[in-house]
Amino acid sequence: MPLVAHNALPTFSRLQARGQEVLSLERAQQQDIRELHIGLLNMMPDAALTATEAQFMGLVGACEQTAQFFVYPFSLAELNRGARANAHINQYYYDFADLADQGLDALIITGANVANPSLDQEPFWEPLIEVVRWAEDNVASILCSCLATHALLKHRYGIDRQRLPQKQWGVYSHRISLPAHPLMRGINTRFDAPHSRYNEISRSQLDEAGLIVLIESPEAGVHLAVSPDQIRMVYFQGHPEYDSNSLLKEYKREVSRYLSDERQSAPRYPEHYFSDEAIEIAAMYMERAEKAKSNGRAPPEFPEKDLESLVDNTWGDTGKAIINNWLGLVCQLTSLDRKLQFMPGVDPDDPLHLGS
């Protein structure tokens, strides 16, 4: 069932333009269908703020469960923002205090940019943990992406992420580690998923903490794990939400940084992402751009559209299927009263009756 456009957030119109069904609030109120209320804590930097909204809301809106999905984006005041992003947040985002008062069924937490060696030194750390502590006692499940996973694992288990020799960046083959888990229902046993990170938490660290690994890659490590109760915390280390061109835009940004001397070396290509033809186009561009730079001229226009036409999305359907399973489980566990964490009779220590 579709997303409900419950405010004027432009992302609703953008998703409709892409062909996704979005209900107006008026139409939604005329239907006698279960509502599911989901918070979206968007901590991404300004350049990715609205794209991240659309990515996660698109995944939720693609869900096949019989429910109307109300997604409430909010952010943290301690994140460094420019005027334009602040204006967007002030106009369209919700206050966490209001959401906490009204109640939520589930919470999604995005990644973020960091500047300090330890996550607990970031200005947003304490406000983030305040949100998480509330959610631990008030929502059925918290789903984290990339850096949010690292932050919550540090908060809950004292696990410190480890710096990688080089950035884990690209699209990697993965396998399901626990096919019988309800989140893996209907998922192919082997599939691709994007990663984009300088740090990782290893399988051995997760095993030692008693967490359950569901998906991993021999090249990229763990993609998805869950808390010992099997559902209340869902930890993605990769990016199921990424669009086809997300890694391309990251590559374009790094090329721009190199050409403006913000980084010393030209960026690597995202692994297993560009086709041979795309690599040839990118290499030709870099040759022309470096020549222009050495002659004191502006670089030529980056061939984004040419490269985008050569990029395949080999992970989107799997991401949608996992989120569909997650939301289906949230529907099963929660009450019609969004202020209640679970429906009566649910064991918080074993919500899915899997004997965890």
Rg of the chain (C-alpha set): 21
Q: What per-residue confidence (pLDDT) applies to 1?
A: 66
Q: Among 38, 39, 129, which Cα is nearest to 78's?
A: 129
Helix (H, G, I), strand (E, B) or coil at 304: helix
64 is catalytic: no
Measured from the Cβ of residue 243, the count of other Cβ atoms closer than 10 Å reads 17
Task: Give Cα 348 distance to the centre of its chain.
Answer: 25
CATH 3.40.50.880 region(s) of the chain?
3-243+314-333
Q: Give the CA count within 13 Å in the CB-facing half-sphere of 245.
A: 13
Set 88, 174, 223, 239: catalytic member: 239
Q: What per-residue confidence (pLDDT) applies to 356?
A: 56
Set 122, 241, 250, 254: catalytic member: 241
| pLDDT tens, the chain, 356 aa long | 689 999 999 999 999 999 999 999 999 899 889 999 999 999 999 999 999 999 999 999 999 988 999 999 999 999 999 999 999 999 999 999 999 999 999 999 999 999 998 999 999 999 999 999 999 999 999 999 999 999 999 999 999 999 999 999 999 999 999 999 999 999 999 999 999 999 999 999 999 999 999 999 999 999 999 999 999 999 999 999 999 999 999 999 999 999 999 999 999 999 999 999 999 999 999 999 999 999 999 999 999 999 999 999 999 999 999 999 999 999 999 999 999 999 999 999 999 999 85
Q: State the pTM of this model.
A: 0.96
Q: Are 40 and 22 in contact (CB under 8 A)?
A: no
Q: Which two tokens stand for residue 60?
A: 């939720």
DSSP conformation letters of 177-208: S-TTSGGGTT--SEEEEEEEEEEE--HHHHHH
| Fold of the 3-243+314-333 domain | Rossmann fold (3.40.50)
308 is catalytic: no
Describe the crossing of helices 83-92 and 49-61 by its angle, rounded to 10 degrees: 30
Set 146, 195, 200, 216: catalytic member: 146
User: Looking at this protein, which amino acid is placed at residue 141?
Assistant: S
331 is catalytic: no
